[in-house]
């Protein structure tokens, strides 16, 4: 039962450097200069899940990113983790995309593929983290989707049982393939690239597709295709209200708990 899986990966700033990045207050874009980048952590979980499925059932794992030239590094890392193919959607026309324009670009890229059974995404990114792209992608491709997935089990060639978070527990949902599924960090422990993997990756091709290569309508991708646009940025200033609780330590703790419960913090 071969299963061809597309994994959408986004290159994001390294989490150790998140306090070093800034947002351009005029354009709303992230200023990444001098900040190391990596594959969005949740996308590494999506990739690990895809690799596990491929290793069990055969098929190919195709990693897909939309991003500037430096996003190629994310694809190189994914290939070193043992992905089979990599596609880089890279064009000025894709720049400045909001989530819908990002999903549009990914959808154009995916439509160009000869065949796929499943699309895996991370649930959310660690930079802008809207969690919108996977479901928008599913809508654009007219596919079913599930987010918050923590376990995938094949029932047969064309259907999966997905355990997903729901309120304070889980539900299991059956989904027919092809489908888009966004996974959480709990689904698995992503592998690290091995030296052999890194060497093998240098022999694998990364396809560069421009907007024209995918047949994209440039009015639907990038800044021109973005119905949401950055408007204004301001800092949130939290007001602090100190209060010293009187009584013995036990009484003070009980009082503190009561106050937290009252404010629905606990």
Ligand X SMILES: Cc1cc2nc3c(=O)[nH]c(=O)nc-3n(C[C@H](O)[C@H](O)[C@H](O)COP(=O)(O)OP(=O)(O)OC[C@H]3O[C@@H](n4cnc5c(N)ncnc54)[C@H](O)[C@@H]3O)c2cc1C
Contact positions toward ligand X, by CB under 6 A? 8-10, 23, 30, 40, 42-43, 46, 64-67, 97-100, 102, 106, 121-122, 124-125, 127-134, 228
Q: Which residue is nearest to ligand X (CB)?
A: 122
The CB-based long-range contact list for 224-230 (8 Å cut-off, 24+ gap) reads: 224/93, 225/97, 225/100, 225/101, 225/104, 226/96, 226/97, 226/98, 226/100, 226/101, 227/98, 227/100, 228/98, 228/99, 228/100, 229/28, 229/98, 230/27, 230/28, 230/29
Q: Closer to ligand X by CB, 92 or 259: give it.
A: 92
DSSP class per residue in 92-157: GGGTT--HHHHHHHHHHHHHTSS--SEEEEES--SSS----HHHHHHHHHT--EEEEEEEEEEEET
Smallest gap, in angstroms, from Cβ of residue 204 to ligand X? 18
CA gap 104, 138 in Å, rounded: 10
Smallest gap, in angstroms, from Cβ of residue 82 to ligand X? 18
Smallest gap, in angstroms, from Cβ of residue 41 to ligand X? 9
Q: Closer to ligand X by CB, 112 or 155: give it.
A: 112
Q: Closer to ligand X by CB, 59 or 94: give it.
A: 94
Tokens of 255: 């009082």
Q: Closer to ligand X by CB, 9 or 50: give it.
A: 9
Phi, psi of 155 (to 5 degrees): -85, -45
Tokens of 47: 């990739």
Q: Closer to ligand X by CB, 10 or 164: give it.
A: 10
Smallest gap, in angstroms, from Cβ of residue 100 to ligand X? 6
Smallest gap, in angstroms, from Cβ of residue 43 to ligand X? 5
Q: Closer to ligand X by CB, 153 or 228: give it.
A: 228
Smallest gap, in angstroms, from Cβ of residue 215 to ligand X? 18
Q: How far is CA 135 from CA 35, 56, 243, in A?
A: 29, 27, 45
């Amino acid at each position: 039962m071969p299963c061809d899986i597309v994994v959408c990966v986004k290159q994001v700033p390294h989490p150790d450097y998140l306090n070093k990045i800034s947002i351009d207050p005029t354009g709303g874009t992230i200023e990444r200069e001098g900040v190391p980048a990596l594959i969005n952590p949740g996308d590494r979980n999506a990739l690990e899940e895809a690799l596990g499925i491929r290793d069990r059932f055969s098929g190919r794992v195709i990693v897909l990113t939309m991003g500037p030239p430096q996003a190629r590094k994310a694809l190189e890392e994914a290939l070193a983790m043992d992905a089979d193919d990599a596609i880089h959607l890279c064009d000025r026309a894709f720049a400045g995309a909001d989530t819908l324009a990002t999903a549009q670009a990914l959808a154009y890229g995916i439509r160009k593929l000869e065949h796929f059974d499943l699309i895996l995404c991370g649930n959310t990114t660690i930079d802008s983290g809207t969690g919108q792209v996977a479901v928008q992608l599913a809508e654009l491709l007219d596919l079913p989707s599930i987010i918050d997935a923590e376990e995938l089990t094949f029932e047969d060639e064309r259907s999966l049982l997905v355990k997903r978070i729901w309120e304070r527990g889980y539900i299991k949902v059956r989904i027919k393939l092809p489908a888009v599924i966004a996974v959480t960090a709990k689904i698995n422990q992503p592998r690290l690239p091995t030296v052999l993997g890194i060497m093998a990756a240098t022999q694998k091709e990364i396809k560069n597709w421009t907007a024209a290569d995918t047949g994209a309508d440039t009015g639907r991708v990038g800044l021109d295709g973005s119905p949401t646009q950055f408007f204004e940025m301001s800092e949130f200033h939290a007001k602090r209200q100190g209060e010293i609780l009187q009584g013995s330590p036990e009484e003070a703790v009980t009082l503190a708990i009561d106050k937290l419960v009252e404010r629905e913090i606990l």
